[in-house]
A and B are shown apart, each in its own frame.
Chain A
């Protein structure tokens, strides 16, 4: 366990050395809330109460998704820059190696999401420690699931980085657009809503809104959402552990 933490700490230190990216991510979040959030809030406020808050949580969930995708990219970069064979030669189990990647992913997500979360809650006048903690736990679980999906998909990159990038872009578009990050499920047209139930972001976003006290009439059942988010996290992390152990061998050499 100590070695897993050492490995995770090493990755997190790399992360912390790239402070500029965090500042940019926070600035982008602020810009989106201030410009697009405000505009969209005026357009839909007649049907969804406090849409800016709804939008703000959705934006945080997208940030969680992007952070999870970052971990997948980080993993692939390790492989292509030659670091992966070294990491795989260290005295850590494959599961431990994956756990270190997940801890890195969680740290990345928390750093990117925590300031916007506090900012949004403060702005809507609903900032409580309890709310912030539960929202973080919800997004943490979602982040683990996204990390699992991305690492599971990274074996594609061992065939071709181009195919992986294209696949990731397509997957991102589908998972983000066909979800409830911007619109409640009950208002979605019938040809759109059935697809949304397949996006893990739908459950992550609605669960986070529920723990922050948003009107549950606009959300998916929170118990069901929590079960799906937890199931996705456990399932995809198990799958990625299997893939790391069985499929990805880091290097092919003759």
Chain B
């Protein structure tokens, strides 16, 4: 059974299709990152999964429970950290978390310890007596994350969990999300931040204009780009044209620098190509001084699959 499964899921706002026949699955115990630019349908999908929005057509199930037919049961097993941390203006973070814990039946005997530990982990403890409206944007986002962490739901959803959070805070939130996965929760993270996706994802689903473009692990997504890996090889001496021809025969696109001692190859899988290249070089008597391999980024992956940049360039 999938932790999340949608079948032909659509959502229409007036004349705008936010989701168009989306088929999407998440395995139990994985972190699925949904990557897509603003307006791609990420938040709409999450809102449907947590039963706030209703689909226009199609079905969605969370741990086998239909989100439309049995909304309350779905809400019992999932928790969501919203993209916009708003509301509860005149409440203190500790009181907000106590209320949240009581709504999800967290053991009263352990509640206070859990809240204190989570707040300290997310560096919110010092702000525990501030009103919500006096928290910074980053603190409010961390509080939103803290709600889900104390809840430890079967399905945890984080919608852009680190927007407005500083670098140090981002790393803390990411580590806590991974920790939550290690404790057995299934996790969905929606983001348009490549670093976040690369740090967290077990698998990535690329969403574009309300449709799933592709879903796989990051290495496989990168490997799927033809000529995706770039290998730069420095030789101690200029190499022969025959070696270049031999290397071109291994697949990929090999070019030689004007000095003749530096090769640059665009290959599909560097881990397959490099051993073959070193053997061919050895046979040709060419001594290798250094090898550098660079991968395409998720930006490149997104560009490859959608033809558009993930984040609009200024």
Please tell me if the beta carbons of B84 and A82 are within 8 angstroms of each other in the complex.
yes
**In the complex, residue of chain B having the shortest beta-carbon distance to the beta carbon of A94:** B71
Cβ distance A41 to chain B, nearest Cβ, rounded Å: 41
Which residues does chain B contribute within 8 Å of A14, judged by CB atoms? 90
Which of chain A's residues has its CB closest to B17's CB?
Answer: A254
Among A3, A14, A253, A254, the most chain B Cβ lie within 10 Å of the Cβ of: A253
Selected A-B contacts with CB under 8 Å, 12 pairs: A85-B82, A86-B82, A86-B87, A89-B50, A89-B52, A90-B75, A249-B53, A252-B13, A253-B43, A253-B83, A254-B39, A254-B40
Q: Which of A81, A86, A93 has the most CB of B within 10 A?
A: A86
Contact A10 B99 (CB under 8 A): yes
Q: Which residue of B52, B54, B72, B88 is within 8 Å of A91 (Cβ)?
A: B72
Measured CB to CB, the residues of B under 8 A from A are 13, 16, 18, 38-41, 43-44, 47, 50-54, 71-72, 75-76, 79-80, 82-84, 86-90, 99, 102-104
Complex Cα distance, B44 from A254, in Å, reads 5
Q: Which residues of B contact A250 (CB under 8 A)?
A: 52-53
Among B52, B82, B88, which residue has the most Cβ atoms of chain A within 10 A? B52
B47 to chain A, nearest CB (A): 6
Q: A253 vs B39: C-alpha distance in the bound complex, in angstroms?
A: 8
- How many residues on the A side are at the interface (Cβ–Cβ under 8 A)? 26
Q: Which residue of B38, B47, B76, B86 contacts A83 across the interface (Cβ within 8 Å)?
A: B86
Main SS class of interface, B: loop
A254 and B18 contact, Cβ closer than 8 Å, known pairs A10-B99, A82-B84, A86-B82: yes
Closest beta carbon of chain A to B48's beta carbon, Å: 10
B80 touches A89 (CB 8 A): yes
CB <8 Å contact, A83 and B87: yes
Give, as a whole number of angstroms, the nearest-CB distance from B137 to chain A. Answer: 13
With a CB–CB cut-off of 8 A, which chain A residues contact B43? 253-254
Beyond known contacts A14-B90, A78-B87: 5 more, CB 8 A cutoff: A10-B99, A82-B84, A85-B47, A251-B52, A251-B53
Of A88, A96, A253, the contact of B51 (CB 8 Å cutoff): A88
Partner of B103, one of A85, A91, A251: A91
* Chain A 226-254 near chain B by CB (<8 Å), digits 1 or 0: 00000000000000000000000111111
